[in-house]
Amino acid sequence: MFQSFHETARPEQGPARLADLREVLDRERLDGFLVPRADVHQGEYVAPRDDRLAWLTGFTGSAGFCAALRNVAGVFIDGRYRTQVKAQVDLHHFAPVPWPETSLAAWLRQQLPTGGTVGLDPWLHTVGEIVALEAALAGSGIALRELNNLVDVIWADQPDAPLGLVRVQDIARAGLSHGNKRQTVAADLRRKGEDAAVITLPDSLAWLLNIRGSDIPRNPVAHGFAVVHSDAQVDLFIEAAKLSPEVYAHLGDEVIVHAPEAFVDTLGRLTGTVRLDKNSVPLAVQRALEAGTAQISLGRDPAILPKACKNSVEIAGSREAHLRDGAAMCEFLSWYDAQPVGALREIDLVRQLEGYRTATNALEEISFDTISGTGPNGAVIHYRVTEATNATLQDGHLVVLDSGGQYVDGTTDITRTLPAGTVGAEEKACFTRVLQGMIAISQLRFPRGLSGRDIDGFARAPLWAAGLDYDHGTGHGVGSYLCVHEGPQGISRRNIEVLHPGMILSNEPGYYREGAFGIRIENLIVVTEAPALAGADARPMLQFETLTYVPIDRRLIDADMLSTAERDWINAYHVTCRDKISPRLSDEAALWLAQMTAPL
């Protein structure tokens, strides 16, 4: 099993650890310290040694931070985690703060009305984050002090840094050589009059050099830093123990490997103009450059957009990975429907599904811990089942099952909501509204130049019409055998990134009623050129190609709520599921699929 079910949130340990941190605040003459869920590479995912937020507070969500002051400790969480945080932290010592509705600066002004000094680790905050915070605190009397991490001072058994082996992602799967990619990045630097760029994001590094790693669970990335020069040479700062002779040969003479300890000194010796992405490069990198003679140019990570726009080889790989994964899902769903109501618990679903994925003989890893939540647990958006929370599926429950696989040709992410026994009319009505939103995105045509923010409302409109909504984005970017959450693309109220052909995203509206049930339906989609229509403008248009082919449970659909076009879409989708997936299935699962894809 890739997934374990031990309890990682330990709220009872938080108060003593917070007290220890406050003793360090006293010694350092600080009024507070910021503890983000971040590491020195500023990716979304962190290794166990860097999971300081969870260690201190008990909160294990993938985003958030703690502002630990002398008399209050705020845990800032977005809408995905407002139910989860209440179960994971000691609410007598940690106060959940709705974020971004409440900004850190506004909260600090309220908590420190006469001013004070708040410490931070400059490796764990981006340039842009601290610039914005300082501006928002102007005139408050609150100062920020950069120093070594104070949580590390009190974390006696902090795990070691990961040393996962690096492997080559060959051109047959990457589509382009790393020499080609380096030349593309170098040309971009030269066009902008820049001599080099610093890259710290693990997935940008993996994409640029056609390597994959194993430093982060579920995400095939390696920790390291890079300086890309305008002549296409790269200085790579990574532990030599991670690199085999094969990887050295793959990197070649134009990628020069250094120890990570040399990174800061190298930054100080750079000359000319060096690009930093203020949204992903740690503040400490800027400080190291400022100590030398280089001129800093703020601009985008040069790998981030070409990484997001998959080439034809990567898209073909993703299609194949989704068919393979879809067959595993259908085998699982056929098994699920054969089990009596009340015989299964949440962990049973996780184990069985992972077994079917493993049986493909192609699974490298799961792409994230499977979310398997029945009844009230389904309303916890990023629920993680443990031995302590492992609930039995009961008659009338909805089950949210969100899972994915890492294959060398693609990364998958799929959510299906399943019935346990006979589900009520209210649940079916909510499910159908969510389905209508998913269909709206799936069949959308839109002009070039729009962003995820511009189309997010199409997914929410059927819920809005009933006075309902959900507190997460409609879709996130997905990597090519990389991180299951990939920027900059997304579909949400806050995402302003223009959508381009080749971008892979999730399409996952949902609805959650705390204490009762949750619903989410998710397919992955890829942006493509839309074909011309007779009588249309000459305006270039885009659309989405669906990558995920697994039936949506007909037993939860109130067909009377669907329009003719919506009914036609789901029927056509189910025909395609049957045509694409049936040849890959056992006889029993193929029969199940035929039944589940009958017309509405």
pLDDT tens digit sequence for 265-317: 999 999 999 999 999 999 999 999 999 999 999 999 999 999 999 999 999 99
- What tens digit of pLDDT does each residue of 98-140 get? 999 999 999 999 999 999 999 999 999 999 999 999 999 999 9
> Quick count: other Cβ atoms within 10 Å of Cβ 447?
12
Nearest one of 548, 482, 562, 469 to 509, comparing CA atoms? 469
Residue 72: the pLDDT is: 96
Residue 12: the pLDDT is: 86
pTM value surpassing 0.85: yes
At residue 353, does pLDDT exceed 80? yes
CA pseudo-torsion sign 193, 198, 201, 205: positive
Residue 82: the pLDDT is: 87
- Maximum Cα interatomic distance, the chain, rounded to a whole number of Å: 74
Phi and psi angles of residue 522, each rounded to the nearest 5 degrees, phi first: -140, 125
The Cα angle at residue 157 between residues 151 and 159, in degrees rounded to 5: 90
At residue 344, does pLDDT exceed 70? yes
Residue 44: the pLDDT is: 87
Q: Give strand ranges (E) for 368-520.
A: 371-374, 398-403, 405-407, 410-411, 414-419, 445-447, 475-477, 486-491, 504-507, 510-513, 517-520
Nearest one of 124, 119, 118 to 49, comparing CA atoms? 124
Determine contact, residues 222/215, Cβ cutoff 8 Å.
yes
At residue 185, does pLDDT exceed 80? yes
High-pLDDT (> 70) share of the chain, %: 100
What are the DSSP calls for 73-115, one per residue? EEEEE-GGGTTHHHHHS-TTT-EEEETTTS-HHHHHHHH-TT-
Q: What are the CA-CA distances from residue 519 to residues 379, 435, 479, 578 (Å)? A: 8, 10, 25, 24
| 3-state secondary structure (DSSP) of residue 211 | strand
Nearest one of 385, 405, 425, 424 to 550, comparing CA atoms? 405
- Both ends of the chain: CA-CA distance in Å? 37
Mean pLDDT of the chain: 97
Residue 61: the pLDDT is: 86
Tokens of 6: 């031990």
Helix axes 425-442, 452-464, angle to 10 degrees: 150
Name beta bridge partners: 511: 519
At residue 9, does pLDDT exceed 70? no
At residue 237, does pLDDT exceed 90? yes
At residue 53, does pLDDT exceed 90? yes
pLDDT band (50, 70, 90) for residue 79:
confident
Find where tokens 């708040």 sit: 118
Pairing between β-strand 65-69 and β-strand 32-36 as defined by DSSP bridges: antiparallel
Domains of the chain: 11-154 (3.40.350.10), 167-300 (3.40.350.10), 309-444+452-529+549-595 (3.90.230.10)
Average pLDDT of the segment spanning 184-204: 98
pLDDT band (50, 70, 90) for residue 153:
very high
- What tens digit of pLDDT does each residue of 479-516 get? 999 999 999 999 999 999 999 999 999 999 999 999 99
Pairing between β-strand 196-199 and β-strand 225-229 as defined by DSSP bridges: antiparallel
Residue 277: the pLDDT is: 97
d(CA 522, CA 412): 11
Nearest one of 527, 78, 45 to 305, comparing CA atoms? 527
